[in-house]
Amino acid sequence: MVNISTSDEFRLPVFASLKDIYGFLWSSQRDLVLIAVIPIVGLTVYRVAAIDLFGAIEPASSDGPHPPTLLDVFILYLPSILLYTMFAVAWHRRYLMRGEATTVWSALRWDLRKTRFLFRSILIWLIAVAIVSVPIVLLTIFGVVINFAAASEASPPVDVATLSSVVTLAASVMFFVVYLRLSLWLPVTASDAPFSLLETVRLGRGNSWRLMVIVFGAEIGPTVVLIILGMLTHAIPQGIATIDLIVGLARNALAYAVLATGITALSVAYDRLLARVATDPLYTQDGMPFMNE
């Protein structure tokens, strides 16, 4: 049997990875602004026009005589998804393929790579939801069955509110662990690397929790600022186009700062995990992509 202990013992260095993330963002801030400015401005103008001029209803809004429809959700969020995909692929490649000579237009132009990235992003989300749903549903059924078996309405053995909180917390943690592990396939897709989803999952084994700490640790700064901005702008009157544009630009700029940080974190983690390929027979045996490299 082949010894793979060297590869199995590889662990992502948390603090060194965070240093790499912020170091890259700082040194590439000009490129970040150039690549992000088109999605930020385009998305802001589009949403303000859709809501203030054409009457689309924000799904999160409880104001107005009519609730938001599925068409409203489609109109408001489809451009966000497409622009995110364009930006994500461009920024993954900015880190992983630094020698690539490209313009802002060529980086953001839609192509087959971005289509593949979009569909794989959706697939990753669906797989993560499916994996997490099974134990969560079983845990919920277990609590309900115990309460019915006890047949005591006054003091059920499992408090429903407590069970709901525990299930929600467990589901959130499990989802992010699974989702981020699967999301290593995104930098693979953006850089056209010859990894399947299964090979990418193997690449990150033993590092799921470290990956979550790295991504959340990198994103926490801009996320806190974004939350604070949301609280500060909550009281600002809506419906005035100029104010909506200013607030929208600030929110989208911070949202893309969070996205850029998370994308960089995934790229840094993936780049570091590639070090295990040379010593791992999973990637050198027949049929694996790096056997001849």
Residues 261/225, Cβ–Cβ less than 8 Å:
no
Give CA–CA dist 250/226, Å, rounded. Answer: 9
C-alpha span between 6 and 29 (Å, rounded): 37
pTM of the model: 0.84
Query: How far, rounded to the nearest angstrom, does the alpha carbon of residue 86 sit from its chain's CA centroid?
Result: 14
**Residue 143 CB partners (closer than 8 Å, separation 6+):** 158, 160, 163
On whether the CB atoms of residues 215 and 268 are closer than 8 A, the answer is no
pLDDT digits (tens, 9 = 90+) for 264-289: 999 999 999 987 776 666 555 444 44
Q: What is the mean pLDDT of the chain?
A: 82
Q: Which residue has the higher pLDDT, 179 or 55?
A: 179
Q: What count of other Cβ atoms lies within 10 Å of the Cβ of residue 193?
A: 16
Using 50, 70 and 90 to split pLDDT, how confident is the model at 168?
confident
> Would you kindly state where each structural domain of the chain is located, as residue ranges?
5-283
* Residue 2 in this model has a pLDDT that exceeds 50: no
> Would you state the torsion angle of the CA atoms of residues 87, 198, 125, 205, taken in this order, to the nearest 10 degrees?
-90
What are the pLDDT digits (tens) for 110-132?
Answer: 999 999 999 999 999 999 999 98
Determine the Cα–Cα distance for residues 131 and 82; give it in Å rounded to an integer.
26
List pLDDT tens digits, range 193-208. 888 899 899 888 889 9
